[in-house]
Structure 1
């Protein structure tokens, strides 16, 4: 049915446009009936025989973010040119599985091929009798996944863990600022606003204006180790950091191995595949050596005054194994602790029950952190979220070494 005020199109244009909208939705674009109606209206205002006008009109009304242009362009070329595009997309997906990682298509092409392949009708499954399972001694796979070490997970379990991590949020406890906002039920009287308001009634004060102090979550700064011993954990934790960066503002993320890299802007991209692909291009020292002391000293010198204001909370994610020993590590950690409100060290080595701080780097850093916590499973991440949102934990004293 055509929208009000739009003449009914002839042929199958409306049906094809609806199918094109569904294809874009399967690739991840946020489209709905409004975009389909707007696209149909746009096609009535242009020369439909001109392919360039059709492409420009549909992209103008159906795409709302620049990063979705590439997916739309590829989908438009496939859908409106070749009626057998679904079969070609299926062949592309099969060829994709046999390619090496260097030859694989970009994320947009893979997502489009998967969306086009979904158009193929699936054969009905044969009716089988439900198998009988002995559930007496079985354990829920979901509960087992919560406590499993990231390093011991299979590829399928890691994919499931990443989906669980994307649902986590990080509600840091709000801090009082120096700013005030008007509030009729506020605890403090606003004399200046009261006098200003009295001028409307000839200088007579009829009621008191009140105000309340503004509260907001503090900035969050993350320093994540991407050396060889931390590479497996860093890959999964980046999904957690991506979810946090897109859930709240004032999140600054840095990666360090043999050098320090700021990935704050790249991590704000809403599409995780595009964000991680961009990060891979700007981080040259992934799975290399570790220079924790040098990286922290560089952060203190170049970035601490920019991002550690207003009571920032710092998450330091590393195993504490430094190739330079403990040279300058204690001084750099102490200065970092003095520049922030709270320094939390997340170490995957704490997953071992008999862990002892025998490394020189760990012994140098440990006296200068507020909390020393494990980060190796979904349960440890949930405990971290609960701790950071606990107002009482934010005011505890510095932990004993």
Structure 2
């Protein structure tokens, strides 16, 4: 790479490419604002470069400030700068449809996210540029606009009906979701300026230092605490279209700041139970899903809900369900095992948790009825029964997570069960 003069007025093309590069990084999840873009342009102008490696580390110093962002930066830099056939490389990464979770076992972490960020707004059917642009900086026209009607359509669209582009947009929307919860009043107390009770012990202890005279009354209030969140996600074949999106949602919850949860525990189950909690705590979503896919060996396999719940109740319930944990059970309930055993395990799980919420993608059908034996056995032992097939259903869950009176569709379906039994 030959030395390039870097006076900004004389090199608008370089400035434009740095701006587009920063925009692609921001779409891939890096927190980059206009100030960092200006700093990067000034840094390149001041440092100059005679080799690609120098240019790489100059931009790296301006745009990367977290370890989990290094892989994304490296992939986008490789695809964007000095690669004359960047469209062909990115298209080859985007060709596999997002239909299952096993694709992360082959793709490198952050590679698909980098391609999605750079291809946002580029038509799939457009042929790649035929000319060799090795001596010119690659420029990509990125259209980041999304109309409100299109975003509303994505919110209500079934995950199973989404195309690859729509799935990528839905994942970006899910990454911004949070699942806040209200604190629980505990038996412990803390000092307060305005409290409901008088702390007599602290008041008398202070009076003893003043010769027995009471000047002020010490006040106290119940100390708030936050419950744990336990997520049990079905990754069997019948749930394969929803498992990956649910794990994206779970990763966003596990890494959300200010949501209020004490701890977030994540488990997957199909034919066996797998604890993926430590993998979901990784900051990079692609690395987290890749590690979870390597840990769980029963992706898109059979379904043994009763046996997996038995393993959870036996090995994990006392560890993670203490102190009023909220449980999210994400499954379609299609189980061929003994329904009586499934009902017993569901009852034990319900009694061990503060609140048990069941998300079922089958509720997307208007004529849904609890006719399957597994669904009929599980339904009486949940506090709330809700749909989990779209971004809108996950957003609605965030609104009702702290409402103890919310039952979702449980009341209607339980009445249907009683009528059928009668």
Q: TM-score range by the shorter chain?
A: 0.7 to 0.9
- Deviation of residue 270 (structure 1)? 2.5
Could you state the TM-score of these two structures normalised by the residue count of structure 2?
A: 0.70
Q: Which runs of 5+ in 1 are unaligned?
A: 1-10, 126-138
1:387 equivalent in alignment to 2:400: yes
Give the match for residue 268 of structure 1: 281
Partner of 1:221, secondary structure, is: strand
- Deviation of residue 286 (structure 1)? 0.9
Q: Is the 8 A contact 2:94 2:115 kept in 1?
A: no
Partner of 1:328, secondary structure, is: helix
Give the match for residue 123 of structure 2: none
How has the CA–CA distance of structure 1 residues 22 and 13 changed in structure 2, closer, same or farther, with 3 Å as cutoff?
A: farther
Within 5 Å, which residues of 2 pair with 1:32-71?
64-70=65-71
* Aligned with 1:194 (options 185, 203, 206): 203
What is the CA–CA distance in structure 1 between the aligned matches of 2:141 and 2:252, rounded to whole Å? 37
Give the match for residue 153 of structure 1: 162
1:169 equivalent in alignment to 2:217: no
Q: Is the 8 A contact 1:254 1:263 kept in 2?
A: yes
Within 5 Å, which residues of 2 pair with 1:214-229?
214-229=223-238
Give the match for residue 307 of structure 1: 320
Give the match for residue 361 of structure 2: 348
1:288 equivalent in alignment to 2:290: no
What is the CA–CA distance in structure 1 between the aligned matches of 2:287 and 2:76, rounded to whole Å? 18
Q: Which has the higher mean CA deviation after the structures are superposed, 299-308 or 95-104?
A: 95-104
Partner of 1:279, secondary structure, is: helix
Q: Is the 8 A contact 1:312 1:341 kept in 2?
A: yes
* Aligned with 1:319 (options 321, 329, 332): 332
Query: What's the Cα RMSD here?
Result: 4.5
What is the CA–CA distance in structure 2 between the aligned matches of 1:148 and 1:76, rounded to whole Å? 33
How has the CA–CA distance of structure 1 residues 204 and 264 changed in structure 2, closer, same or farther, with 3 Å as cutoff?
A: same
Q: Is the 8 A contact 2:105 2:290 kept in 1?
A: no
Q: Is the 8 A contact 2:175 2:249 kept in 1?
A: yes
Partner of 2:339, secondary structure, is: coil
Give the match for residue 8 of structure 1: none
Within 5 Å, which residues of 2 pair with 1:15-26?
26=24
What is the CA–CA distance in structure 1 between the aligned matches of 2:155 and 2:38, rounded to whole Å? 41
- Deviation of residue 227 (structure 1)? 0.9
Deviations 1:282-313 (A, max 9, x none): 11111110000000000000000011111111
- Deviation of residue 54 (structure 1)? 11
How has the CA–CA distance of structure 1 residues 206 and 113 changed in structure 2, closer, same or farther, with 3 Å as cutoff?
A: same
Q: Which has the higher mean CA deviation after the structures are superposed, 269-278 or 298-307?
A: 269-278
How has the CA–CA distance of structure 1 residues 203 and 306 changed in structure 2, closer, same or farther, with 3 Å as cutoff?
A: same
Q: Is the 8 A contact 2:177 2:252 kept in 1?
A: yes
Partner of 1:107, secondary structure, is: coil
How has the CA–CA distance of structure 1 residues 108 and 232 changed in structure 2, closer, same or farther, with 3 Å as cutoff?
A: closer
Give the match for residue 207 of structure 1: 216
Deviations 1:12-45 (A, max 9, x none): 69999xx98995784344467689989x99xx9x
What is the CA–CA distance in structure 1 between the aligned matches of 2:72 and 2:151, rounded to whole Å? 34
* Aligned with 1:107 (options 95, 106, 109): 109
- Deviation of residue 389 (structure 1)? 2.5
* Aligned with 2:374 (options 341, 355, 361): 361
- Deviation of residue 209 (structure 1)? 1.2
Q: Which runs of 5+ in 2 are unaligned?
A: 98-102, 121-136, 418-422
Q: Which has the higher mean CA deviation after the structures are superposed, 139-148 or 109-118?
A: 109-118
What is the CA–CA distance in structure 1 between the aligned matches of 2:189 and 2:53, rounded to whole Å? 53
Q: Is the 8 A contact 1:165 1:239 kept in 2?
A: yes
How has the CA–CA distance of structure 1 residues 329 and 142 changed in structure 2, closer, same or farther, with 3 Å as cutoff?
A: same
What is the CA–CA distance in structure 1 between the aligned matches of 2:359 and 2:181, rounded to whole Å? 17
Could you state the TM-score of these two structures normalised by the residue count of structure 1?
A: 0.73
Partner of 2:299, secondary structure, is: coil
Q: Is the 8 A contact 1:289 1:323 kept in 2?
A: no
